[in-house]
Every structure is written in structure tokens, then in C-alpha cells.
Chain A
Amino acid sequence: MTADKTVRGDTAFEPKIIGFLCNWCSYAGADKAGTAQSPYPPNVNVIRVMCSGRIDPQFVMKAFEQGADGVIILACHPGDCHYKEGNYRAAQRYRLLLQLLEPFGIERERCRFDFVSAGEGDKFVQVITEMVETVRALGPLIIPA
């Protein structure tokens, strides 16, 4: 297979990003962007979970350890969670996670949390595009030994 390289500008760095999406809102939002055929950079690799409340902070740490340059967690909007409150749990865990990243020398911008509804195909494209640009600007993640 061809290696992930260059699309724009003079940079050859294509960030690898893991995206955790909940089945009912944000994954559906990604599908919405699909049916609208709105293009976005392919750097985000989606892991589908039923609820953002399932996202264990160890998944995020594992992703960084395995070579992800960024991780994005997308949940249902407040009040919209299919499982009532999983998105609030995800938001709580995200705040703790940020504190965990710094000791590893991982910039907090490499881990983003946002809300995308099933109807927000455009927002999904925007959030993903921003995330790729943010991580591209930060450069490859090098975790100090």
C-alpha cells in the first residue's frame, strides 16, 4: 500500500488520528456527512462505540502509545444522549484525561472532545477538518521515553 503522504502545502506530515464516535449521534453525524458527500481529510480513523460513556481513558492512552498523533471524542449534545447521561460521563472523563496527558508530554490540543448530533454532518466535517489541521500544526507526537 502507498504510505500516507502529502496532500497540501509543503508538508509531508499526515497525522494519524483516532476518532471515538458514539453510535447514535456523532457516528450518525459522520454518516450524514457521507450522504451529503461532503469531503474531509481522511486522517481520522473512526472507532464506533455504542455510547461515548463507553470510552475508557485507557483507549485514548493506548491510541497515543500506538502511534496516534491525536484523539478526538465525539458525543451527543448535552441532554441528547441515547443512554441518558453517557455523554456527561465522557465529558467528566475527558477532563481527567487532559490532566493525565501532560505528564507524558502530550499537548492537550491533541485530544479534543466535542458534541456532534445525528443531523450535524456539516459540523462533523468542520470539527474533523479543524482537528487534522491542529494536529498537523503540532507535528508528529513524540512521547519522551
Chain B
Amino acid sequence: MKTGVYFCKCGTNIADKIDAVKIRESLLRQDPGIHFSTVDFMCSEEGKEAVAKDLAENRVERVVISACSPRDHETTFMRVLSKAGLNPYLMQMVNVREQIAWVTEDSGRATDKADRYIRAAVRRVQLHDALQKKEIDICPDVLVIGAGPAGLKAALSIAGSGRKVVLVEKSPVIGGLPVRFEELFPTMECGPCMLEPLLGDVLHGEYAENIELLTMAEVTGVVGSYGNFAAKISQRPRFVDMQVCIGCAECIEPCPVSAKNTFNSGMNDRKAISFPFAGALPNAPFVDEKLCIALQGGECRKCREACPVEGAIIFDDSAKVFERNIGAIIVAVGSDLYDCTKLPQLGYGKLDNIHTSMEFERIMASNGPTDGEIRTTAGNAPASVAIIHCVGSLDPKHKEYCSGVCCQYAFKFNHLIEKKLPGTRVCHFYKELVIPGKDEFGLYHQARSNPQATFVRYDDIQNLSVAGGAEGTIIQYQDNSGKSGSVKADMVILCPAVVPAEDSGRLGTVLEAGQDRAGFFEELHGRLDSAQSKIRGVFLAGTCQSPMDIQKAMNQGMAASGYILSGLVAGRKLEIQPVNAEVDARRCSGCRVCVAVCPYTAISFDPEKKVAVVNDVLCQGCGTCVAACPSAAIKGNHYTNAEILAEIEEVLK
């Protein structure tokens, strides 16, 4: 097997320290058949040309490149081999510049070390396999889970490229949380106004036919891997045919049953057949099975009698299961708010007029429980409002992180209270104020200049307590300077920590996508790849990954789509790197140690053949399973035991 050793001088960088003549002599003593050649600057166009030409002319079969770090130029020289008609994996690179020439003071010892490394590489490269990249067919369609800002943006951008999108939403309504907010920070844009064009595009826009929207649905099973997933989606019955219903709402009034409206945080009632809130899209009501008399076996048919169209209300609607093939999945299931009853001293759930920020958003919304009027339970406009920031955030006893959005909506609240109820006193209790961004300071300055606003900084939420009494709600506090005081507040708004959605854990299990210690979906890399999960082909967008504002959620929706649009292209096959693990079924004892250690769930157990099976698409080639296998039944391609052991042996000679 003719081996060529190409020695880059790298100008004087290598040549000044390492004696190429001595290396050549040593190699020829080891094997007179070795073809040795020096090149001035191997990574230059001339250098690469020279190597490619030399490889062909001398019919070299195995190649050792002695140059710089493989982290810089391994792929460069692999391409040179390919160009010369050689399999690129029949090459071993020796890092003589960064790891010998530049760091060894004595040139004799540097030459000795380079000689050992090159000899070891010559030994190793003899054992290399001519690995081949594999290619598989892919499905370019995408499953988007969650129809909030991030999911909608992702669904639209993917549908716009002509691909099919399955958009799965748990609730009967799309638009996520912000569609329920009257106004949005930082520019006080109306939430529904901002989102409705987006919702309209999803439902009826130019690419809507590419989007299959499944509301009241959940993903219950996923098999396969990047490029070829199969998802199982379970849909609860709506009892209203969205294709037939004209959204006139005639059915609502006659319904005789009421219950708390969860879409308004239980602050008003809704009927058994209802819209979550006025203007909710898709424009069709849904029936609450547990409340509806007809669905509970009763005689009532009042809604259907009132309905002007035939077949819109279907009492015999049933749960459906859909199976869809997709190539990638975007998780955009959003988040929840921290349970404020876990901070009992704040009185939430026990005292009147203590609201979470979500409840207050609905109070201020013109389609909310009070039609946008800020009123206490007694029906009066509050003369004073306390806004408590950092409830559960930045708190080691609750959630250690900053939720990032609360300060900004708290200042939005300040602005809206000032506008709707001029003269109302507002007291902000805060631990830290966090208002980054080029537009976000506006509401902060406005709050600071509100003559009715006061600010109290506290160190620990334990230093605040909210108590009710004859004269109203009183907040006792100790501020961060140790000073104690009390503030009367007719209404208290709590800004709870943003926490993972209740369903995240279940969905994480279905997708095998991990969660961080706070329970948010764990990204591949916090800065480089925050829109990718650690499972290939499962992408993340919006607050399911981390607390974030709408801008960031929309951006992440686009980022996740970008990965899919560039990585999973219709008509193009998915390339699979051959540096991966391979099970020798004859040696495998079926012990499943490898299944347990694989960080990518790339190894499964075939119960029929009783052997481990590696999924090439998921395997990243780390080799952890290779080292773990007690039967040496797994081969780590390009880093085989034989290759590494030969390298060790030769370098020690």
C-alpha cells in the first residue's frame, strides 16, 4: 500500500523548527516505499494543486498530511484527496505546527516528536477504511407544535416555501398568549391587531392550503428520526364543524349552562358552547363536553336549534387520531406562570383584588371579563395599585432566573393605569429592573415620570407581606436599605416567574428531547444553536426554550424554520457522515449498555434479533458506546480500536 507523506513547511513556521530531511530519512528507514514530499504552503491554491497532482502521478493509496491542526484544514485536504480521486478518509493529518513546532523550544526534540507522530500516522492510515457517506431520502414537511407567535411564524415561513405544515394546537384558539393582551410592550401596539394578520394568513392566506391546522390536539407519539419522523396526533372533539360554522355566535345565548371561563383566568363565566373570548380564531365555538347537557345524555338541543346552518353543531363528534409523516418538528408550546400560591404571604387566592399579570391583562382587555374596565371586586376604580415584580424570579427558593419580560409589562401596566384611571397611585415593588433593548426604555421612563408612581426596592420577597383588613389591602415591606413601611393598595398585581408549560414534561418524553433543570426544553447550544434541541430534527422556538419576549419568540420561529429550509430540502437527500458507530451483530450480546450511554438515543434494541441497532441519522460519532461495549461489538468508524492502538504503539517506539 503506497503511502504518501506530504510535509508542509508553512513558510518558516514549521521548517525553522522541524528538520524535514531528518524526517524523510527516518521514514525511509522504516519503509523505503514511502513517498515523501515537501510543500511550501500546502493550504494555498498552488499547494493544494501540487499535492493533488503528486497524488495522481505517484499513485499514492494512503496519505499523511503533516501540517497544521486538523481542526483548521482536515476538510481542506480531504477535498484535495477527493479531487485526486482518492477516498478522503484514507488520510491522516499530523498537527506539527500548533502542537510541535510552535510549542517546543529545542528543534532536535521537536523533530523527534514530529518523526514519532508521522510514523504513527503512517501506521494508522494503513488501517483506515474507505468510508462512504450515505444518503437517505427525506420528507420536507414539518410538524409545528403550538400556535403561538413562534409556532405561527415558523408555520407560515415553511408553508411559504411550498411545504406542508401540520400545526398542532392544544387549545381551541390560535395566537398564543399575546392575542389575549390588549396592548403590547414596548410600543403599546394592540395585541390582536398585531397578530390577526398572521392568524389570517395561517387560516386563509396565500399558503394556508399548505397548513393543516389541528386545534384541541396533542402530539402523543413520535417515531423515526430527522428527515423521516412519523407523528401520532390525538384531537379532542370540538362538536362544532369548523368548515360549516359561520361564527355568528347565535348558539351561545340559548345555552343554559355556565362555568368559569379559564381563558379569562376564571374571572367571568362562559357557556358550555362558547368562544374562548370575543374575536378568538378560528372563528368557531367549541363545546365543553363536561358541561354540555346533551353530551352528558340530557335532552337539551338549544344551541343546535338556534344555529342557522345545518350540520355545524355535531353532538356525535368524536376524538380522532391522525398520523402524519414529517421530516422535522418545531416545538413551540410556550410557557405558564409560576403558581403564586407558593408565596402565601402575598395573599394570592386568599384575598380579593390580588391578581396575576395574566389576569390583569384580561381585565384590561376590551374583550375581557370587565370589558377593559379596571375595577375592584366591589366594583370601584382602585385609588391605588401595587405591582410586585420578581414574584418567584431571581429567587433561589423559587426560580433562580430572571424572567426577562415582567419589568416591561409592569411598566406597560403603569402606563395603562395612568391613562385609564388618571390620579391612581401605583407602587412598584422590585428586586431588579431589567429593561434591555432599543425601544424598551420608553415605558420605563414614562413610569418613572408618572407623578403618582413610587418605587420600592426589596432584597427578598419574604420581606413583603400582603394582608387584608377593614381599611383595605395593606402591603408591609422592608426595603433593601432595611427601612420598613406599609402601602395601602386597592389592587395588587403580581408578576410571576415565567415557567415551562405544564405539558412540557410529557411532550419532552414523547420527543425524547431533554429539559434543563428549570424544565424548559434544552437547546443544543445556548448561544450558537438555541433554536435546536439536542435531538437532531427537533427544533425549539419561543418560551418553551426560555423566558423571552414576542420579538425573540418570532425570531426563534424564523430561526427554526431556517434550519429546516436549509437542512432539509425537497429533492435533496440527507447526507449521513460515515464517522459513526457500527454494531457487529455477531458479537453483540444484547446487554444494552450502549443504549444506556448514547447521548443521542441513537441506539435501540432490536427485540427480535436481540442486538443493538445504531440509527445512522442520529449517531454523532462520539464513540462513547464503542468504549462502553463489553464485547467490542461496536466499531467506531475512523476511530477504531485498531487504529488508535496502532497509533499508541508507534508513537511510543
Contacts and interface: CB of A to CB of B under 8 A. Distances in A.
B652 A66 contact: yes
A12 to B, nearest CB: 14
Given A1-B112, A31-B69, A53 B98 contact: no
A53 B109 contact: no
A51 B639 CA distance: 10
A72 B622 CA distance: 19
B530 to A, nearest CB: 16
A4 B98 contact: no
A62 interface: yes
Interface string B86-105: 00000000010111101111
A37 interface: yes
A117 interface: no
Contact of A18 (B71, B95, B534, B652): B652
Contacts of B623: 49-51, 53-54, 86
Interface string A14-37: 001010000100011011011101
A115 to B, nearest CB: 17
Contacts of A2: 108, 112
A27 B70 CA distance: 10
A103 B120 CA distance: 30
Nearest to B114: A42
B624 interface: yes
Contacts of A113: none
Interface string B51-79: 00000000000000000011100000000
A53 B69 contact: no
Most A Cβ at <10 Å: residue of B110, B112, B579, B648: B648
B648 A1 contact: no
A13 interface: no
Contacts of A23: 71
A63 B600 CA distance: 30
Most A Cβ at <10 Å: residue of B69, B113, B624: B624
Contact of B98 (A34, A39, A45, A85): A34
A47 interface: yes
Interface in B331-386: none
A5 B586 CA distance: 48
Contacts of B597: 53, 89
A93 interface: yes
Nearest to A40: B103
B647 interface: yes
A88 to B, nearest CB: 10
Contacts of B102: 34-35, 37
A72 B453 CA distance: 62
Contacts of A57: 627
B14 to A, nearest CB: 11
B26 interface: yes
Contacts of B98: 30-31, 33-35
B582 interface: no
Interface string A57-81: 1110011001110000000000000
B107 to A, nearest CB: 11
Nearest to A69: B652
Most B Cβ at <10 Å: residue of A35, A63, A84: A84
Contacts of A82: 622
Contacts of B167: none
B652 A16 contact: yes
A39 B106 CA distance: 10
B624 A83 contact: yes
A50 B70 CA distance: 12
A4 B623 CA distance: 33
Given A18-B652, A40-B103, A50 B112 contact: no
Contacts of A66: 648-649, 652
Contacts, number: 130
A1 B622 contact: no
B148 interface: no
Given A47-B647, A63-B652, A89 B112 contact: no
A59 B643 CA distance: 11
Given A31-B98, A47-B647, A1 B26 contact: yes
A53 B644 contact: no
Nearest to B115: A1
Interface string B147-159: 0000000000000
B624 A51 contact: yes
Contacts of B579: 50
A38 interface: yes
Interface in A85-118: 85-86, 89, 93
A28 B99 CA distance: 10
B652 A56 contact: no
A59 B113 contact: no
A135 interface: no
A51 B622 contact: yes
Contacts of B622: 50-51, 53-54, 82-83, 86
A84 B652 contact: no
Contacts of A50: 579, 621-623, 639
A48 B624 CA distance: 14
B626 interface: yes
Given A59-B644, A68-B652, A48 B113 contact: no
A4 B109 contact: yes
B464 to A, nearest CB: 34
Nearest to A84: B599
Contacts of A16: 652
A49 B622 CA distance: 8
B548 interface: no
Contacts of A27: 71
A46 B93 CA distance: 13
Interface of B: 22, 26, 69-71, 95, 97-100, 102-106, 108-113, 115-117, 120, 534, 579, 597, 599-600, 620-624, 626-628, 636, 639, 641, 644-645, 647-649, 651-652
25 contacts: A1-B22, A30-B98, A31-B69, A33-B98, A34-B97, A34-B103, A38-B103, A39-B104, A40-B103, A42-B104, A45-B113, A45-B116, A45-B117, A47-B647, A47-B648, A48-B70, A53-B597, A53-B623, A54-B626, A56-B627, A56-B644, A59-B648, A84-B600, A85-B599, A89-B597
Given A33-B98, A42-B112, 16 more contacts: A4-B112, A30-B98, A31-B99, A34-B97, A39-B104, A42-B104, A42-B110, A47-B644, A47-B647, A50-B623, A54-B623, A54-B636, A59-B645, A66-B649, A68-B652, A89-B628
